[in-house]
Amino acid sequence: MALYLGLDSSTQSLTGIVLEVEGDSTRVVFESSLAFDEAFPEYGTRHGVLPRSDPAVAVSSPPLWADALDAMMARVSHSGLDVGRLAAIAGSAQQHGSVYMNSRGGPSALSRLDPGLPPGEQVVHALSRPVAPIWMDSSTSTECAELAEGVGGAEALAQRTGSRAFERFTGPQIRKFFKDDPRTYAATDRIHLVSSFLASLLAGRHAPIDPGDGSGMNLMDLATSDWWPAALEATAPGLRAKLPAVAPAWTVAGSLSPYWQARHGLPAAKVVVWSGDNPCSLIGTGLVRTGLVAISLGTSDTIFGLMREPRVDRTGTGHVFGAPTGAYMGLTCFANGSLARERVRDSFGLSWPGFSQTLAATPPGNGGRVLLPWYVPEITPPVAAPGVRRYDLAIDDGPGHVRGVVEGQQMSLALHSRWMDTGIETILATGGAAANREILQVMADVFGAEVFQLEVGNSACLGAALRARQDLIPRRSSPVFGRGRGLPDV
Ligand code: ADP
Ligand code: XUL
């Protein structure tokens, strides 16, 4: 009976899931999560982000992610499972974030970590840039315009890479770093995504980037799944030599390095290439055929579905990514997801059960009260200057805000996913807030669709574990929410 480990390094937490496979049966035998802020207060993150005075800037800490990986490996090792049976590990990570390594971060340094010490303090020396910009960063509008101009316009960039230039995408972020600090850029030997950085740490050598996460960079040619020379040139000099190769999501990057074997008594399990959380979620929700969509209500809210052919969004809000199946996926991302819901919950002194009761007690349509919940700069639609917009909604109207935030978000999800043209009948809900049935009822109402909750809540992590097993079909869910009653047209 082989064991397969999936890991999900998200914005706020690290999750691990172990699958045990025996014949046709696959069972979850271990599931554990740790929140970065609570487990590692010494790094000073809030909701997984390092405090910065500029609201457009969002960075986090690669050594924190490394130490979290170490803590999760310790939990797996002490789980009571026979870890000698661990056959393979794969992972999922927040998309777009980038990690900058110097020449000391080369393969030999990665393979020669001291098993007596945690990894965080050791990888610090291998970083040319101590922090990693993450997907919540919106500070690169100038660089987006420069990149688009450099490749012949926004339309050309979208056709080739699957997306127009987006502030959080890795290409504009790399360009900004190169412009702000050209010497440190020159001293950077390798630029990883969060996914490929963590896979490299596990394998003790540089791991490739998969086409799913690679397509969140504005640098990869979707048709060839390789770097697009024009985009590299428009981003920063000598970039090709600093990037890992792109390789299919099922590639084996190596085996678990001696560091992890010695430190946690683990075997030389295969390390399968990591991918982004959304591509992994596509596998974890079982979206391996067209006509279904998933909505992930995590730190960000996303809506995504499988595409056989890349169909680029002409409105410029959505993205086409590579899917870990080798096909494509359409995705639209919203920055004001769970943290906006939390802001409303906290400002009216509610718990999640209180929030849910309030939602259930207010009428669909909210009696015409509307809230646009842009607490932080919004990706979709693009809103650079954050601020909450209220229409017919009094500032002290708690119930109106609770329903307003959820309906506003769901209507935005419905409106800005029309470009995918999938005729949404069935929605698979995942992410932390998918535990909330009242939120899912609003989703069903707004989309006029059936909504399923999944048995395993963290579909990105489950997808990673299934990818470790090289198996792409999870089992489907239990509760179903009735087809929604419908809301005023969106
Ligand atoms: P990520 O993977 O992006 O770090 P998760 O998918 O783990 O995020 O979701 C975390 C979020 O889930 C928290 O920020 C919290 O707001 C939200 N959440 C947890 N429980 C509930 C609930 N019962 N109702 C609504 N939201 C919830
Ligand atoms: C997707 C996006 C977020 C991050 C963090 O484009 O920016 O969903 O992957 O979850």
Residue 289 CA to ligand 2 center (angstroms) comes to: 22
Query: How would you classify residue 452: left for phi > 0, otherwise alpha for psi between -120 and 50, otherwise beta?
Result: beta
Tell whether the model's pLDDT for residue 104 goes beyond 90: no
Substitution candidate for ligand 1 out of 299, 350, 453, 461 with most atoms within 8 A of CB: 299
Q: Buried b vs exposed e over 340-369: b needs ≥16 C-beta within 10 Å?
A: bbbbbbeebebeeeebbebbeebebebeeb
Q: How many other CB atoms sit within 10 Å of the CB of residue 412?
A: 23
* d(C-alpha 338, C-alpha 485), whole Å: 24
Pick from 287-291, 375-379, 397-401: least confident: 287-291
Tell whether the model's pLDDT for residue 232 goes beyond 60: yes
* d(C-alpha 231, C-alpha 138), whole Å: 20
Phi, psi for 212 (deg, rounded to 5): -65, -50
* d(C-alpha 244, C-alpha 249), whole Å: 14
Helices 141-150, 170-180: inter-axial angle, 10-degree rounding:
110
Read off the pLDDT of each residue in 253-274 and give the average, rounded to a whole number.
97
* d(C-alpha 86, C-alpha 29), whole Å: 12
Q: pLDDT tens, 109-146?
A: 778 899 999 999 999 999 999 999 999 999 999 999 99
Contacting residues for 223 by C-beta, under 8 A, at least 6 apart: 160, 310
Asked if residue 432 has its Cβ within 6 Å of ligand 1, the reply is yes
Phi, psi for 118 (deg, rounded to 5): -65, 160
Please state, in angstroms and as integers, the Cα–Cα distance from residue 408 to each residue in 305, 335, 348, 455, following that order.
21, 13, 18, 27
Q: How many residues does the chain have?
A: 490
Give which of 179, 207, 177 is closest to 195, Cα–Cα.
Answer: 207
**Residue of minimum CA distance from atom 26 in ligand 1:** 433
Q: The tokens 């207010």 sit on which residue?
A: 362
* d(C-alpha 287, C-alpha 303), whole Å: 12
Residue 297 CA to ligand 1 center (angstroms) comes to: 7
Q: pLDDT tens, 414-442?
A: 999 999 877 788 999 999 999 999 999 99
Q: pLDDT tens, 176-210?
A: 999 999 999 999 999 999 999 999 999 999 999 99
- Which pLDDT score, from 0 to 100, does residue 107 have? 67
The tokens for 60 are 């986090």
- Taking the model in full, what pTM does it have? 0.94
Residue 316 CA to ligand 2 center (angstroms) comes to: 17
